[in-house]
Amino acid sequence: MSDKDVQNVDAKWYVIHTYSGYENKVKANLEKTIQNRNLDDIIFEVAVPLEEQIEIKNGKKKAVQRKIFPGYVLVKMIMTDESWYIVRNTRGVTGFVGPGSKPIPLTDDEVRMMGVEDIPIKLDADVGDNVRVISGPLENFIGVIEEIIPDKQKVRVSVSMFGRDTPVELQYDQIQKI
């Protein structure tokens, strides 16, 4: 692991509040400041999460990009006095999200849910372990892990259905070890 990878482990995602409509300007200003001041070792990424929506105008369908969280920008950084000051004093930023002046980082689950970054889920089960399916169409079924597929974040579980064992592929977050 390089120094940058080691430092990136300490980085967390923070939410900053901006004037409405200034999200892209804040992103551009912040990225320019990071580049000019050579701060890419403490501020790693600036994101304005977008989603594609289909809009119908004059009878024609058109795909448009919409901001998922208008008025907010996400920043992946190591919280230091300097990084706080740089972000806080970027034109268009009204402040960090958190109580008072104390920014609160997003949890891994929140980051995953927002679709900002794919954070791998750590599986606390092994081949041969009994698991309960906790979400999806097979919720509450019990099965045995037959195979773990780490690059897809999936497991193959043998589930007993209608009196016979059936192999099913599930996401890590769909099972719970029992």
Tell me the pLDDT tens digit for each residue of 28-85. Answer: 999 999 999 999 999 999 999 888 888 888 888 888 888 989 999 999 999 999 999 9
pLDDT score of 8: 60
Q: Strands (DSSP E) along the chain, which ranges?
A: 12-18, 43-47, 50-57, 60-67, 72-77, 93-96, 130-133, 142-149, 154-161, 164-171, 175-177
Confidence grade of residue 119 (pLDDT, cut at 50, 70, 90): low
The stretch 83-88 carries a mean pLDDT of 94
